[in-house]
A and B are shown apart, each in its own frame.
Chain A
Amino acid sequence: MITIFLTFLKIGFLGFGGGYAMLSLIFQESETLGMTVQQFADLNALDGLIPGPIAINSATYLGQLYGGFWTALAATAAVCVPSLVFVPLYMHFEQRINDNWFLTAILDGIKPASAGLILAVALSLMLLTVFGINGLGAWRSAHLDWSSLLVLGVVFFLDAKYHVNPVWLILLAGVIGAVVYYL
């Protein structure tokens, strides 16, 4: 529980630039906590179904999986700490740090970085779901799963191009999965 609390404290303070920047941190940290790539993929799907910030949803999910209610609460509280620290601090010193160019500068570096980081996470999930392997190192044992590739392509297209509500896309994926099973 203390490990999870500290992990999410770290994620919160490094989590500049929104949910997806944090998600790549969560992906790596959750691996060290013993979470599988499957469980991470399920977390991301649940995040599409449940309203709320990605970081809060992830903290609750990991906490609940690894220690139950109180760990979930501790993880969620940890990820909230940065807001509760920086907001009063900023309000207190507002007049003196009106020129916050360095915050914008940090963000200018982190936004492009998070695009690359989240693409790497996406690739990991694709290797697992479409090729059945954990990481590029295992490429010899890769085998192509056509139905997963189809789902991935269709969902990406509908999400990136038409911004279809993720709830419908997850339902659609579920239906395809069921149909493939009975074929």
Chain B
Amino acid sequence: MHKNWILFKVYLTAGTFTFSGGMAMLPMIERQLVNQYHLIDRDTLYEYTTLSQTFPGVIALTNACFLGKKINGTKGMIAAGIGAILPAFVLMLAATIAYQLIPQKGVIISIMAAIRAASAAFLFSAAYSLARYNLRDAASILLALACFLLTVFNLASAPTLIVAAAVVGILLSVTKRRAAKA
């Protein structure tokens, strides 16, 4: 089988069967690209996976682009990239069209209200796990708290806060590197 076709197929199946995106698809990718088709070794796969999480943009797509490019150049990158986003695009398009057709009356209003409450719960849960894994010291707790309060009271926009947080991250890291050298 041609490499591009394999890349497309592997990312397409991984994208179809992984919910909430991100690197949940990694085990499936590893099994197929490393064990089944021997297109790449495990260490390189993990190296690029870690790397793709540090870049801006869609992590799963960045990962597909890195491995596709590594395995078969620009054509491989495009094949893997399309495979990675196609399932999400097609399925979400179908879901949105179906959603637009749902009549908003009677019992459906009540069902939708409950689902929206569930939706809020998912975000609280996401905030909880982000906090649990990333708030390790006073600086990070302060940063999270500042972002929360500034957003709630409409004092700063999300893009501003993200840029500011990136600057804080760099400053903290520079200070730590200075301290390590001294």
Contact = CB atoms under 8 A, between A and B. Distances in A.
Interface in A1-52: 10, 12-21, 23-25, 27-28, 38, 41-42, 44-52
A119 to B, nearest CB: 4
Nearest to B88: A52
A20 B97 CA distance: 24
Contacts of B141: 112
Interface residues of A, number: 109
Nearest to B116: A41
A181 B111 contact: yes
Contacts of A27: 158
Interface string A116-127: 111111110110
Contacts, number: 377
Interface stretch (B2-10, B38-46, B128-136): B128-136
B169 A51 contact: no
B88 A169 contact: no
Interface string B116-155: 1111111111111111011100001101111111011110
Nearest to A155: B121
Contacts of B100: 64-65
Interface of B: 15-22, 51, 53-62, 64-66, 69-70, 74, 77, 81, 85, 87-89, 91-93, 95-97, 99-100, 106-107, 109-131, 133-135, 140-141, 143-149, 151-154, 157-159, 161-170, 172-174, 177
Contact of A19 (B18, B20, B62, B161): B20
B134 A53 contact: no
A139 interface: no
